[in-house]
């Protein structure tokens, strides 16, 4: 495992900004800023806070997200680090950022990676909602690990699980509760946080990468997990599940069946049998029993997807790619999703056949027909699901969803 040299490096306020690539992560970023994307164990902003040892976080927000997510505050009497949300912390990048002086920025080709400016200037930029780095002294930099396409989240997930574990303090032996007949292969590479429960007959195999079980997570009897894998805080893995490597089950998710190289963001459920592979699942999704995602074409060729912003078909160069699913999507039992499927926000899919690969937001998808999901009915379903987890459906959240509904492209 690659360990960080220093987990607490500088205590400075940070502000995240998005560049012109942020549209590439839709439909997931229709309902969140890029820094709120989950990869590995944590979201991107959580990674940076731990890597830099700071609790002072702010961000620039697109207008449609401004009432749902916190912008944070910038103190005018302190310097501020501006960090491109697409970049992931590493030892080398953190060292480069540590060495930045006021009025300097790191730049690779035409991309600003990070900048350090006085607090008063940061406050001005924060109000403008669009940073202007043109007056800063440019330090040319090699490129560092970043996400450029949706599928980068999947390709980098395994190594980010390792990186995130290095930022956690987990005692050895791990402090969770394990049944007597749980089998741990390479237990020195298995990290179980306080309050987690591993039930009878589970097999955790960390030969190829670490396994992380978060606080108060439950791994039910008979489950097999192969690392690198992360089962996050308060998540539940259902009985007999098969979790393959490069998989993250986000906080308060319930996941069963067979899963490979997939990220569930949080509060989403796949409680029954069925295969999900090389897929990105947003928040508050529910996959019905025996929902299956295809992640490999029959002719083994590269998978093409529809770019969300303009609907143009693009080549991914990926042999394996399943479903990209925005928040609040639901599938009926026995749903089949094709390779490279793109589902927008708040889609209800109950087709007996393969539904279209591109499903617009707020779609009600039956066999051979797509209708608009009525907004009031969608809110009823949202509220019912969120209340099950004691999360209120706020007026601000309704407003964000209404904007998505009104701007949807059929």
* Distance of alpha carbon 223 from alpha carbon 202, whole angstroms: 5
Confidence of residue 133 (pLDDT cuts 50, 70, 90): confident
Q: Where in the chain is the domain with CATH 3.90.550.10?
A: 13-148
Angle between helices 375-387 and 395-406 in degrees, nearest 10: 140
What per-residue confidence (pLDDT) applies to 1? 41
Mean pLDDT of the chain: 92
Q: Is the pLDDT of residue 389 over 50?
A: yes
Nearest to 189 by CA among 168, 166, 206: 206
**Distance (Å, rounded) from C-alpha 224 to C-alpha 350?**
30
Handedness of CA 383, 386, 391, 393 (dihedral sign): negative
The strand pairing partners of 184, in sequence order, are 204
* Least trusted range by pLDDT, from 39-43, 53-57, 90-94, 332-336: 53-57
At the second CATH level, the architecture of 13-148 is Alpha-Beta Complex (3.90)
Q: Tokens 């009823």: give the residue.
A: 380
Summarised one tens digit per residue, pLDDT across range 219-271 is 999 999 999 999 999 999 999 999 999 999 999 999 999 999 999 999 999 99
In whole angstroms, what is the distance from residue 201 CA to residue 351 CA? 37
Q: What is the pLDDT of residue 3?
A: 43
Question: Where in the sequence of the chain do the CATH 2.160.10.10 domains occur?
Answer: 154-406
At residue 410, the pLDDT reads: 74
**Whole-model pTM above 0.85?**
yes
Q: Which two tokens stand for residue 142?
A: 């090699």
pLDDT average, residue stretch 367-387: 93
Class of domain 154-406 (CATH, top level): mainly beta
Q: In this predicted structure, what is the pLDDT of residue 90?
A: 94
């Amino acid at each position: 495992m690659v360990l960080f040299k220093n987990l607490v490096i500088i205590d400075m306020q940070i502000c995240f900004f998005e560049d012109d690539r942020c549209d590439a992560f839709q439909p997931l970023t229709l309902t969140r800023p890029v820094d709120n994307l989950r990869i590995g164990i944590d979201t991107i902003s959580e990674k940076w806070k731990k890597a830099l040892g700071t609790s002072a976080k702010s961000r620039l927000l697109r207008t449609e997200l401004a009432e749902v997510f916190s912008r944070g505050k910038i103190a005018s009497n302190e310097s501020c680090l501006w960090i491109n949300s697409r970049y992931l912390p590493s030892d080398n990048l953190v060292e480069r950022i540590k060495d930045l002086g006021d009025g300097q920025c790191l730049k690779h080709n035409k991309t600003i990676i990070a900048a350090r400016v006085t607090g008063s200037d940061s406050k001005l930029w924060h109000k403008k909602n669009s940073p202007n780095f043109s007056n800063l002294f440019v330090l040319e930099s090699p490129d560092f690990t970043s996400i450029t396409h949706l599928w980068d989240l999947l390709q980098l997930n395994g190594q980010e699980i390792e990186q995130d574990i290095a930022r956690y303090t987990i005692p050895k032996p791990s402090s969770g509760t394990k049944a007597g007949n749980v089998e741990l292969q390479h237990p020195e590479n298995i990290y179980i946080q306080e309050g987690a429960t591993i039930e009878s007959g589970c097999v955790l195999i960390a030969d190829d990468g670490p396994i992380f079980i978060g606080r108060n997570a439950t791994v039910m009897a008979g489950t097999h997990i192969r690392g690198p894998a992360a089962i996050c805080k308060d998540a539940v893995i259902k009985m007999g599940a098969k979790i393959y490597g490069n998989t993250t089950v986000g906080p308060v998710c319930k996941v069963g069946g067979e899963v490979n190289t997939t990220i569930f963001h949080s509060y989403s459920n796949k409680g029954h049998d069925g295969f999900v592979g090389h897929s990105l699942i947003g928040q508050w999704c529910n996959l019905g029993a025996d929902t299956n995602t295809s992640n490999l074409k029959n002719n083994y060729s590269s998978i093409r997807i529809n770019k969300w912003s303009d609907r143009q078909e693009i080549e991914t160069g990926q042999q394996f790619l399943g479903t990209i699913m925005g928040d609040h999507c639901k599938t009926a039992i026995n749903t089949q999703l094709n390779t490279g499927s793109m589902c927008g926000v708040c889609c209800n899919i109950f087709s007996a056949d393969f539904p279209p690969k591109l499903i617009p937001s707020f779609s009600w998808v039956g066999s051979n027909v797509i209708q608009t999901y009525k907004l009031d009915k969608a809110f009823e379903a949202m509220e019912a699901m969120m209340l099950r987890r004691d999360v209120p459906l706020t007026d601000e959240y309704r407003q964000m969803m209404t904007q998505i509904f009104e701007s949807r492209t059929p």
